[in-house]
Amino acid sequence: PMPTYLADAVQTAAREERVSGQGNGYVEQLFVLAGRATRLRVMLAGSAVLASAAWTDLGFVYYEHSTRVDSSLPRLLQQDDESSEPSPLLDAAAACALAAIQLDGANARAYNLQGTVASLARNAGLAQHAFIMATRRASLSALPWANLGFLYLAHGDVELGNKAFARAQMLEPDLYAGWLGQALIAEQVGSAECVELFEACLLLEGVSTEIADFGYALQVWRAAAARFADTSKPTGVRSHSEQNRLLLAIYAARRYVARADDSQGVGHHVLGMLLEQNDEYEAAADAYARALDRVSASDERLWIAWASLARAQCSAQQYSDAVSSYARAAELLDV
């Protein structure tokens, strides 16, 4: 991760931005100042080891800056995204990592940074090498193992990914990245522990990432839908724990749509389905309407969004609107 002093400052600046409504001004200025200050540290470093540490911190400044400036950057779990443009900030971070490694070959943080940047640049070979070097240089550090697990998972190697995440959790049981990795693997293989693992992600630190918020919300809805489809169980009756889980999933879905781009409306659609499960039909209709605003007119699933909106409107006794929405869905289906 980036230096603690910078992480704390970025969080403070972000809070100030939200309060003042001044967009990204504070954070942008902070990254510029952090870059200048860290470059000065590089120039004033009195030894190769200190210079290597300063280069690593500067690389993390560029890397963290890139994740805020360029939202199209592919993440570790989106290796199939070919739409993003090269990032000068990521290139600068890669150069800093290389400089740090050349000055101090024992710098595990520099190898971890190199692996992270290489992953985002889709250089899987370099990323794997760098993460493995980081685990060797800092054998008790859990984060490089977790990053290695995400790399394996992104390239479809579930077995190696699971081993890497297990090693990370053994070294640091409370590491958020380790729990998230295990949850994503459980989701991929269809494990019954999937919901519990995503829930642990949400509760572990109190602040979850977007992928964990969406994963938990989706899995809770799937569990609720499966229970509704099970004719051997009474419908409409939830246990106290099931109701608490549903409310937490609604909270996670709302936080996801507030923080994520959700350009295709999937997050809003999941939120709508969860709200329907909780009998909040007007709020569900609003969520579906917002999803429709984001769905491409050429999307083959557009009729599903209209049908979902109609269903929620009907449950909310908005019958005239429901008829119109059902007609739009039928028109798209050529019925």
Can you tell me the distance from the alpha carbon of 111 to that of 60, in angstroms, rounded to the nearest whole number? 12
Which candidate, 244, 202, 245, 247, places its Cα nearest to that of 223? Answer: 245
The whole-number pLDDT of residue 67 equals: 79
Can you tell me the distance from the alpha carbon of 276 to that of 257, in angstroms, rounded to the nearest whole number? 17
Q: What is the pLDDT of residues 149-172, one digit of tens each?
A: 999 999 999 999 999 999 999 999
Q: Any residues with CB less than 8 A from the CB of 159 and at least 6 apart, and which? A: none
Q: What is the pLDDT of residues 211-229, one digit of tens each?
A: 889 999 999 999 888 877 6
Sign of CA dihedral 267, 271, 272, 274: positive
Which candidate, 10, 108, 116, places its Cα nearest to that of 53? Answer: 108
Mean pLDDT within 251-256? 93
Tokens describing residue 284: 């569900």
- pLDDT band per the 50, 70, 90 thresholds, residue 46: confident
Q: Tell me the pLDDT of the chain averaged across its residues.
A: 85
- pLDDT band per the 50, 70, 90 thresholds, residue 264: confident
